[in-house]
Amino acid sequence: MSLVSNPVNSQTYPFNSHQSVKIVNPKEYEFNCLPIINHATFWQKIGRYRTSSNAIQKINYPLFDWPLINQLHDGLFLFNYVDDDNSNTFADYMGNPHTYNGHQGTDVTLFNFRAMDRGMKIVAAADGTVVETVFSKQDRNTKPPYPDFGNRVIVQHDDGTHAWYVHFRKNSVTVEEGETIEKGDILGLAGSSGNSTEAHLHFEVGEYINGIWQKRDPWQGTLNTLPSLWQNQEPYVGNDPIRIYDMGVTTRASAGGDENNISFDLFKESLSQPEVFGKDEAIIIVWLQVQGQAGDAFTLKVRRPDNSLFDQLSFMLQDKAQRAWYRGVWNFAQNVSPGDYGMWKATISVDGSVKKQVDFEVGEITVFRPRFAPLSGRSFRINGATQRDTLRVSSLGGEITYSLLNELDFVSLQQDSIVMVSATSTQPSRSFYFQAITMDQAGLKDTMWYHIVDPSKPRTNTVPVELSTFSAKFKDNTVELFWTTLSETNNYGFVVERKSENGSWDKIGFVKGSGTTANLNEYTFLDQNLMPGTTYFYRLKQINSDGSFEYSREIKIDSVPVTITLWQNYPNPFNPITAIRYHIPEDTNVSLQILDLNGKWVSNLIEEKQKTGTYTIEWNAKSLSSGIYFFKLEAGRFTAIKKAVFLK
């Protein structure tokens, strides 16, 4: 098999944010995400908030909670600690280089800008008073020159110390100067405004001693021996072995047309993965995002639907990577035939253990779902003037339509693609969330995430839904989820999400909520689309009527028993080709038949003895009339029938 780029080249192509010379000079790229601050000016500005203790160095700071709604490693990684070395070199609180020279805060970074667009909430890490807000600066910055200092919230605590929260998404700040906030209150959404190359939060703690800023590293370790300021200090990541944070499969066109010079910004936007990877694509690109140490090794494998190996590459980090991108590239069209159609997988293994996996379908032609671009999320701030946003999608998809979801009466869609926000809002509280949906002719969709801040409305941080129990059990090849709520306020419903042990979260269903009620409510959901031998995790995304949401805890179902399984065909409805997938745990005689609506035989797709494995069979119904058909699987003593809808 011919590699477009050999493993040696792949190993030296990490797109490491501190090493790459493809975008900018490395020294220039080692940004200080907070430039030199005019603290004297800020000290004068907050004069009315000062306390007499501002001239005395503090011994006891407040204890801080984690300042983001998601925990570390759940869509977030720790990019930089505080630099505790006061010389011309740099070292974090453990004496290691997981920082850069002069960095005074902690940088917690999102995987990509698409995650930023969905809205990552920044929360108050401690009680205090808001003494400054900036919200109108442009975000999505990726490299110098930086236009401004960025959006921020600065909180003064009761003892006169301060916490800086910096790089908010434009117009997403939800608190006002002079407001008193409590630990856990929502401050806004993470962004990349100001001196920033990433979608991230810069969290910095310190105090003014006679008007001079003194940083305070909240992390305790071998170099910074002061007591930790965290309520629960997260484990140190600076020496951790390699972590695979994100990965995907993409085409040459989606990668900008040149797989050897993929733009840094395309990686930050998360490269588009097709719904179907067409057999005629000249090359296939598998990309991944990692954090690790020099010498860390990992293996990228690509497998066909029958689990046979397409090819593999071995990688080794040449230097410490606080975040790096790698990619593997193979010739594809010359190595694929229609017999390879079905669900493929790419896996990343470390020491023989699979750490992350992405599944992708290979078929006749490449199909992309529509994708909002250049943005898939935006915040508005009600300001007394009508505001608008024109919806746009990338050019990789076909014809599309737009619609709104969860909007209130002051939001409308005009001229099919223009979102209009009135000069005043009818939202009940400070923040309101709604979505725009784009859909193509095949029913494939993407979501644009909108957030509206109305500073005239009250802030509310009450929990609208009180989840009491959440459990799961396996029975008859089905996972049954069960949960109860003690009370609900404006509960729109629950999105049920699932992932495999090394996969990513996917929506598998929706259960409507009970609105507003003080009574106990019980809910169930059945998941029947299971892969034998797979361990699954489930969680609930509870959505409020205003579009805001919260996630439940995760629950685990250990390895689904290996049984004969027949899945629903995809796509369904279809025209004229669909894929039928099934699994047999042992060698047996297999029959796969097509029946019409009356149960009469139409054709045989399979009639043979097959070995253990998962199979995907393509059915082309172009010679048949539109209508309802059934496909029947017989394997040993097992029989299953499912319905398929053919629409010309």
Q: Specify the CATH number for the domain of residue 480.
A: 2.60.40.10
Tell me, yes or no, whether 26 lies in a domain.
no
Q: Is the pLDDT of residue 430 over 80?
A: yes
| 210/76 same-domain check | yes
| 167/47 same-domain check | yes
Q: Is the pLDDT of residue 104 over 50?
A: yes
Tell me, yes or no, whether 233 lies in a domain.
no
- The DSSP secondary structure of 6-24, one letter per residue, reads -HHHHHT----TTT--SSS
Instruction: Please calculate the CA angle 526-475-543 and round it to the nearest 5 degrees.
Output: 25
Q: Which domain holds residue 497?
A: 465-557
Q: Is the pLDDT of residue 562 over 80?
A: no
- Closest CA relative to residue 449, chosen from 121, 133, 151: 121
Q: Is the pLDDT of residue 387 over 70?
A: yes
| 82/202 same-domain check | yes
- Least confident range from 63-72, 205-214, 275-284: namely 205-214
Q: 581 phi and psi, to 5 degrees?
A: -120, 140
Tell me, yes or no, whether 448 lies in a domain.
yes
Average pLDDT over residues 12-29: 30
Check: CB of residue 128 under 8 Å from CB of residue 181. yes
| 282/342 same-domain check | yes
Share of the chain above pLDDT 90, in %: 53
More confident residue, 161 or 519: 161
Check: CB of residue 247 under 8 Å from CB of residue 286. yes
From residue 436, give the alpha-carbon distance in Å to each of 116, 309, 380, 402: 16, 40, 14, 7
| pLDDT number for residue 561 | 55
- The DSSP secondary structure of 7-68, one letter per residue, reads HHHHHT----TTT--SSS-HHHHS--SS----HHHHHHHTGGG--GGGGS--S-PPPBPPSB
Confidence bin at 49 (pLDDT 50/70/90): low
Q: Specify the CATH number for the domain of residue 282.
A: 2.60.40.1930
| 359/489 same-domain check | no
Q: How many residues does the chain have?
A: 648
Q: 77 phi and psi, to 5 degrees?
A: -135, 155
| 166/305 same-domain check | no
* Amino acid, res. 518: A
Q: Specify the CATH number for the domain of residue 136.
A: 2.70.70.10
Tell me, yes or no, whether 484 lies in a domain.
yes
Average pLDDT over residues 314-334: 91
Q: Cα–chain-centroid distance for residue 571? A: 25
Average pLDDT, the chain: 85
Tell me, yes or no, whether 223 lies in a domain.
no
| pLDDT number for residue 343 | 92
Domain final position from 363, 392, 415 = 363
| 169/255 same-domain check | no
Tell me, yes or no, whether 328 lies in a domain.
yes
| 12/150 same-domain check | no
Cis check: omega of the bond before 274, within 30 degrees of 0 = no
| 496/614 same-domain check | no
Rounded CA gap, 324 and 317, in Å?
A: 9
| 204/263 same-domain check | no
More confident residue, 147 or 581: 581
* pTM: predicted TM-score of the whole model, two decimal places: 0.72
Tell me, yes or no, whether 226 lies in a domain.
no
* Structural domains in the chain (count): 5
Average pLDDT over residues 553-559: 78
Dump pLDDT digits (tens) for 504-540: 888 999 999 988 776 678 899 998 777 767 788 899 9
| pLDDT number for residue 88 | 83
Tell me, yes or no, whether 336 lies in a domain.
yes
Rounded CA gap, 345 and 307, in Å?
A: 8
| 345/414 same-domain check | no
Q: Is the pLDDT of residue 269 over 90?
A: yes
Domain final position from 525, 557, 589 = 557
| pLDDT number for residue 221 | 97
Beta bridge partners of 627: 646
| 355/292 same-domain check | yes
Dump pLDDT digits (tens) for 583-628: 887 788 999 999 988 888 999 999 999 887 778 888 999 889 888 8
More confident residue, 560 or 522: 522
Domain final position from 557, 576, 611 = 557
